[in-house]
Structure 1
């Protein structure tokens, strides 16, 4: 269905255009502002094409509003002149700019508006390209990219490139999703989110020129929120929200509402204030008298396809905050969550983090320069009325680059003007609530780190980003980081008390980050400030935080170095022994010392498996009166300990020994009891180096010497209960589960390739045509399916085993507390940790557990099971 010319005017989208918008996708092949493949299209670094694309990319970098004003006009003239020569490059670069530099969308919208005044053909082409990009993103389920394209349409509306009614029609196209029968909550939430998040940028224009239609759109959204509240109640959404909140329990520092509810409240407040958002820069307003003369262009109808597997924006998601309710005057608590400005700032920070995940330096650069993308006064102590430098901005800081006159016509106009004249007449914005940029960045990055059940990227990225920010913004940032630690996890300030009400997984992630952070700054910290923590219960979250941080830092350095950085008072939380082996037969007085010495000598000399087995048999004969089971355990302990001792120098050493004597190891571990015993032997040998312990168990799982059930069974043995709050226990458990899940995924992928041989990489699969080929393929499929059934069954057994062990462990404790008259089990720190980790396991592996949830309920859930445990299973 096409819109009528009297509504929109101009040209329509070409549905066959293959140009794509990334919007944060394909990050692994991106250069600054351009994808890797696109950058390769440039002939030379000093070519006219390179200079033109660079001009567009750096437009607005560290520029005052006055500098932006002057340089937009210059570049608009260049684009108008050179477009015919470089049409594909211009369209591609502008697309990359609004998809990968969303903090500067307002600049590019105004630029296109000025170009459209004299060259409506260019404006039409850009509108068509933007429409193609938006539809492509909708087709792929690339919702962040869709938001970027929609935001660019908003700025094109401001610049009079498309009509306000056209923009409202685009919104209406997207919101038709809400009219679908039985629409999925996550699907509707995502669409409403991208509409509301872009509305503040264009609301003034919509209010002034199409108020009735705007009100109609808002009424539709309002009806959705009313029905959404009922829908969330029906599906237990409040339980889901509670399961992913960083803070738990009572006496929370703030109301943990989901982000979409907060955004809707902010939009309603903005509406009551006349849609005036004072932090937004509006360069297009300086050209109203010019832009009003331009042509507008129409846009085809957009269709939102169903994406059952790509909608990852499943809400509700709670808003995480750090700097709230503080008494310290050095912290500016100006983050008013009722103000749409707070959302817009955090949203663009989130976009920058998402787009530049591949490059923390670029990410830091754009985060640091955010004050230049908002009105003066938006941020405390950030003056953007003067440019960062009065020198001209050069491409990659090179000297003047001249373009030969016979190559093009824009000659020396390629430079962006940051001259003093452009600094004159700075605009003063009154009535803006000032924000502390560093605080919002901290909150947003920590919200990523604490995102449950999983952060978007690997934790190392967020760790490295905070380190880069500290180094780049060294004058103001480290004190804020210090406040974040002190107030959230340490012994001073109101937020220190939050540790006891934080999700256990968030505590774990935080001490992992803190240890990494210390490793980047010489392990320097004022430990004395935390001395009072030493008086607390050994299982108190504050004590565990310090203990686990110290143990993690040893992995980043070495034992003596870390020990020398902490006061003696903290030695009680420091490992008593440095990372080392615990070889049972090292003592010359041990009755098997000679046997162990002889066995290690044979292993070192690389004697064959048969000779090693014969030696073990001889050792067994030396205990004729020992029961068979104990004899087997003695031989197994001797052999495994000697293998580990010989390979203790490095991982390559131990892997070589394991591979060489794998047959002997497997013969000694043929029963579940034997495999559990081997796990205990490894754990005792590496009791002073839990990092090596985890790695060795992982390798033995790879070689099928032990299995996942044996590792899980060991973790739930009585002797392991004392380590309930130690990282290594839960790291081993998760690594074991991940290993099993990974096997299922690998076999499932192989099955898919056998079923669809043409779907292999590049579509160059085997063409199965002959009967013989079909027979071979059928046999291979049968084998793969049997393997898939086996690994899927193992996955089910492992997760069921964990659920059973957790339920049994927690239920036993609850009965003990009941007999002792303890009414609040969460006040017992051991239970607090165990219960929290049970919740984390069920939350993280919900996709796998959901495939056999009925079976789990049948086996695990009993009529008398405590409701507290049932709540975790219900999540």
Structure 2
């Protein structure tokens, strides 16, 4: 029929287009073959891929080296096999003999020369992970006798030199030290045979730096025991310190153990033919850190930058060395480092990351991990002493360790939580028990000093993980712990976990998963009511019920803001005539208005935003009474949402966003009226808990974020003006204008109005930032320092710091545990906001800490010690 031909033509054209889209050039095919090396059997594939590369090598060297670069930096578990492949290409094949006699380099050397260009680009951009993985590749090639030993030593020494730089940041030193240390772990046997002195110098340089950074470990160790200086922990390991311990152990045996730690598939290859030239790595100089000066310093007005502070990197241990790799053994460090690289590289695809993690044993030496259940017995390798680890427990320890790095993890917590979920989905029968063991291990460590921030992340992960698997947990195991003090970390964890679970589901659903003991009123675990509003004036028995209903009706009727304000003014007279003499009428009006407005917006988040935005003039008018007025507004919010503490933080954030209250107001309110005040003390809380910290963090982050935005605006406007002046001078200048008297200067045009306004705003915001930080520091001091005359000072703040008290913690009451948690949040405040505290260390330290000079009180000394580490005053 007539309509068939056009239809068939369209279909044929579409098929041709799809075939053209799928076509790969020879260069793309060869690059893909390199990247996909080992998808079935890597040992069998290497000769085939080597042959394919030789057949298509003419004009394809850039594509081949690009394939190697991608493979090395994105699939680091294949690096030994890429070294094997390049070693084969470094030999002159039969077809290359004629060209070899003419002096042309081998194909392997051409590839390596182009690969080096990519490495230099990584180094120039300070892409540390890619640089370190390339060094792994060079180290394996050194063992394969493709790269000269001396040039490899020179490369490692270039990174060691970074450790001696004046004022080097810990992050830069740590990354450079790991580049040198891990390269030496792989190629140490060959390097030491060439030069014992150079190898020892590298190890000594790393050791000197590790010892110099010892003081900063106090703030980031995942286990806090304030009575002792913990140089080493049994259940946590610092990354660079572990690398140093491995190097020392390897050096004592002349790196003989490296053979049992890293796959070396190239060792069985025949020696290179006589006269074959090894590759000489060019000399390098590690580029300096890029420090951009943007914005103005709050104290001096000079250009400055708040640089993110980098700390020692601690990874928590959950299992014994017989179960998971020992991080201070060569084999254990190699496995952990490789798994961490996979977790970081594949952050863009957690499903692929989970698959690769479960398949990782295929890239390790036989006997590294226990065989998977169901594997044929005849294919199972013999157990290797010191290895034979459990893969699933290892993965849990690695991922949770990355999640719990302090002061913050590399990626958002939800990535690590989602990754664990994907691993469980791929192998629920084997991973599920490992998850359960990890939860029990972490729960048991709560009372042994587990850091408060780690405990909070643990509760968050626990709740989200339970939500993904039907909230199934054996809560009855923890029933005996209900006899502990109410503020004991284990009971606190149960409360937080249940609260997080309720946020992810609903009250009745979670109640059904808990044993009766956890639902009892005295357990203080399951809230009595579902999360929701608590309108104080809803009951007719309330003396201000009628006044609140009249305001509520105005809001419901969408009355104009000026009409609402007029009505509130009239209510002052009515309430004043009927109230007792000691009633603060203004405070009542603020509470009635704010709670009525929140009641209108309590149906949904969009209702809340609409209500706030519609009646911003009302809120601003209520807040004109100064600090007392803003405190009343915040208190009204906390009373209205006392059954849903998450909403308190959300509403506070919006009030700060619309500038109804300032971050300093929220910080001050938290220390005087915060939810940590479990006893209802009118003088305010003597302790700060996790909910209070959420409010403090929200306020401080808001203040810091505003300064960052203002700084960027000032920088952009200043750059724009400089560019405009430069163009004007270039277009309007002439030669004669240069021949003027040296004392005569051209008048610079004044700053634009936009820049002047931006600078004033920046100055104002930095002052607000400084005030908020100072208020937070003063608040912690008031809670923790017995020297303070503030009645909020916890009398147990100094007692929990002694070793005797710590060993007697099983008998601690709520007051002691409150004091211990407050110490933990002060410690986290110091490390989390260290870059900002350093900027204002002189003024803040002088004002807030001067009273502790000469004090011998343990609490005062601890406050000063943590402050000194955070601000860099203690070397």
Shorter-chain TM range is 0.7 to 0.9
Match of residue 468, structure 1, among 398, 414, 422: 422
Alignment of 1:95 onto 2:69: yes
- For 1:609-758, list aligned pairs within 5 A: 609-625=561-577, 630-670=584-624, 671-717=626-672, 720-723=675-678, 724=687, 726-757=689-720
Q: Write out aligned runs for 1:789-828 (5 A).
A: 789-812=763-786, 816-817=795-796, 827=809, 828=816
C-alpha displacement of 1:338: 3.9
How much does 1:726 deviate? 4.7
Q: Aligned in 2, Cα 1:179/1:541: closer, same or farther, shift over 3 Å?
A: closer
Pick one of 31, 38, 41 that aligns with 1:53: 31
Q: What is the rounded CA distance, in whole Å, between the counterparts of 1:821 and 1:75 in structure 2?
A: 64
**Deviation, structure 1 residue 511:** 0.7
Matches within 5 A, 1:109-124: 109-118=83-92, 120-124=105-109
Using the TM superposition, give the Cα deviation of residue 70 of structure 1 relative to its aligned residue in structure 2, in angstroms: 2.0
What do residues 797-816 of structure 1 show as CA deviations (whole Å, max 9, x unaligned)?
00100110110111247773
User: How far did residue 718 of structure 1 move?
Assistant: 5.3
Q: Verify the 8 A CA contact 2:777 2:848 in the aligned structure 1.
A: yes
Which deviates more from structure 2 when the two are superposed, residues 800-809 or residues 81-90? 81-90
1:31 alignment partner in structure 2: none
With over 3 angstroms needed to count, the CA separation of the structure-2 counterparts of 1:190 and 1:800, relative to structure 1, is same
Aligned residues: 768
- Secondary structure, aligned partner of 1:623: helix
Q: Secondary structure at the match of 2:269?
A: helix
Describe the SS at the equivalent of 1:668: helix
Q: Could you tell me how far apart the structure 2 residues matched to 1:653 and 1:124 are?
A: 67
1:252-284: CA deviation from partner (whole Å, max 9, x where unpaired): 961756432332221232233342331422221
Alignment CA distance shift 1:258-1:587 (3 Å): closer
Partners in 2 of 1:185 and 1:656 — Cα distance?
A: 47
- Describe the superposition over 1:126-167 as per-residue Cα deviations: whole angstroms up to 9, x where unpaired: 222332233223322222111011111122323443222332
CA distance in 1, matches of 2:55, 2:847: 74
Q: Which residue of 1 aligns with 2:822?
A: 834
Task: Report the counterpart of residue 441 of structure 2 in structure 1.
Answer: 487
Question: Could you say if the C-alpha distance between residues 487 and 805 of structure 1 is closer, same or farther in structure 2, counting changes exceeding 3 Å?
Answer: same
Q: Is the 8 Å Cα contact of residues 260 and 315 (structure 1) preserved in structure 2?
A: no
Which residue number corresponds to residue 271 of structure 1? 251
Residue 172 of structure 1: CA displacement? 3.0
- Alpha-carbon distance between aligned partners in 1 of 2:166 and 2:599, rounded to the nearest angstrom: 65
Q: Residues 78 and 363 of structure 2 are in contact (CA less than 8 Å); yes or no, is this contact kept in structure 1?
A: yes
Residue in 1 that maps onto 2:157: 172
Give the equivalent residue in structure 1 for 2:7. none
Equivalent residue, structure 1, for 2:371: 381
8 Å CA contact retained: 1:174, 1:304: yes
Taking a change above 3 Å as real, the CA distance of residues 115 and 701 of structure 1, as seen in their structure-2 partners, is same
- Residues 757 and 767 (structure 1), Cα distance of their counterparts in 2 relative to 1, 3 Å cut: farther
- Equivalents in 1 of 2:797, 2:140: separation in Å? 63
SS in structure 2 of the partner of residue 284 of structure 1 = helix
Map of 2:12 onto structure 1: none
Structure 1 position 780 matched with structure 2 position 774:
no
In structure 2, the residue matched to 1:25 is: none
1:301 Cα offset (Å): 1.1
Say if 2:58 is the partner of 1:84: yes
CA distance in 1, matches of 2:123, 2:545: 70
1:298 to 268, 275, 280: 280
Deviation digits for residues 747-799 of structure 1 (CA, Å, limit 9, x no counterpart): 1011111111399xxx999977799xx96962221111111111111110001
Would you say the 8 A contact 2:152–2:281 is kept in 1? no
Provide structure 1 residue ranges, at least 5 long, that are not aligned to the other structure.
Answer: 1-41, 326-331, 388-422, 490-495
Alpha-carbon spacing, 1:380–1:347, altered in 2? closer, same or farther (3 Å)? same
Structure-2 residue corresponding to 1:218: 199
Deviation of the 1:187 alpha carbon: 4.4
Instruction: Tell me: CA distance 1:363–1:815, structure 2 relative to 1, closer, same or farther (3 Å).
Output: closer
Structure with greater contact order relative to length (CA < 8 Å, sep ≥ 6): 1
Paired residues of 2:707 and 2:765 also in contact (CA < 8 A): yes
Distance 1:181 1:844 in 2: 25
Query: Partners of 1:143 and 1:282 in 2: how far apart?
Result: 24
| Within-5 A mapping of 1:323-402 | 323-324=319-320, 332-333=322-323, 335-382=325-372
Instruction: Report Cα offsets for 1:801-834 as digits up to 9, x if no partner.
Output: 0110110111247773499999667651110111
1:18 aligned residue: none
Give, in whole Å, the separation in 2 of the partners of 1:822 and 1:314.
27
Counterparts of 1:312 and 1:822 in 2: how far apart (Å)? 30
Change (3 A) 1:182 1:720: closer
Contact 1:470 1:477 in 2 (8 A): yes
Cα separation, 1, equivalents of 2:468 and 2:724: 47
Do the aligned residues in 1 keep the contact of 2:84 with 2:265 (CA within 8 Å)?
yes
Q: Quote the residue 2:239 is aligned against.
A: 259
**Range with bigger deviation, 427-436 or 128-137:** 427-436
The answer to whether residue 131 in structure 2 is matched with residue 150 in structure 1 is no
Relative to 1, partners in 2 of residues 1:549 and 1:334: Cα closer, same or farther, differing over 3 Å? closer
Q: Are residues 1:447 and 2:401 paired?
A: yes
Displacement of 1:79: 1.2
Partner of 1:669, secondary structure, is helix
SS of 1:47 mapped into structure 2: coil
Unaligned runs of 5+ in 2: 1-18, 97-104, 293-306, 679-686, 733-747, 787-791, 810-815, 870-875
In 2, the alpha carbon distance for the partners of 1:182 and 1:665 equals 49
Matched, 1:317 2:265: no
Aligned-partner SS, 2:711: helix
Q: Match for 1:44 among 13, 21, 44?
A: 21
Counterparts of 1:766 and 1:738 in 2: how far apart (Å)? Answer: 37
Structure 2: how far apart are the matches of 1:448 and 1:509? Answer: 12
1:647 and 1:121 map into 2 onto residues whose CA distance is: 74
Query: Which one of 847, 865, 868 corresponds to residue 862 of structure 2?
Result: 868
Superposition deviation, residue 77 in structure 1: 1.1
Classify the secondary structure of the residue corresponding to 2:270.
helix
- Name which of 229, 233, 239 aligns with 2:215: 239
Task: Find 1:557's aligned residue among 502, 505, 529.
Answer: 505
Q: Compared with structure 1, are the counterparts of its residues 486 and 174 closer, same or farther at alpha carbon in structure 2 (3 Å cutoff)?
A: closer
Change in Cα spacing, 1:149 to 1:842, as seen in structure 2 (3 Å) is: same
Q: Deviations over 1:714-752 (max 9, x none)?
A: 211256443556532211211111111110101101111
Residues 437, 292 of structure 1: alpha-carbon distance in 2 compared, 3 angstrom cutoff? farther
- Quickly say closer, same or farther: Cα 1:260–1:292, change in 2 above 3 A: farther
Confirm whether residue 73 of structure 1 aligns to residue 47 of structure 2.
Answer: yes
What residue in structure 2 maps to residue 194 of structure 1? 179
Q: Which of these residues, 489, 493, 514, is aligned with residue 545 of structure 1?
A: 493
* Native 8 Å contact 1:585 1:592 kept in 2: yes
The alpha carbon displacement at 1:386 in A equals: 8.8
Q: Distance in 1 between matches of 2:20 and 2:223?
A: 54
Say if 1:488 and 1:499, in contact at 8 Å, map to a contact too.
no
Q: Distance in 2 between matches of 1:764 and 1:177?
A: 39
Q: Distance in 1 between matches of 2:388 and 2:667?
A: 52
Change (3 A) 1:818 1:475: closer
Q: Is the 8 A contact 2:797 2:819 kept in 1?
A: no
Deviation at 1:435, TM superposition (A): 2.1
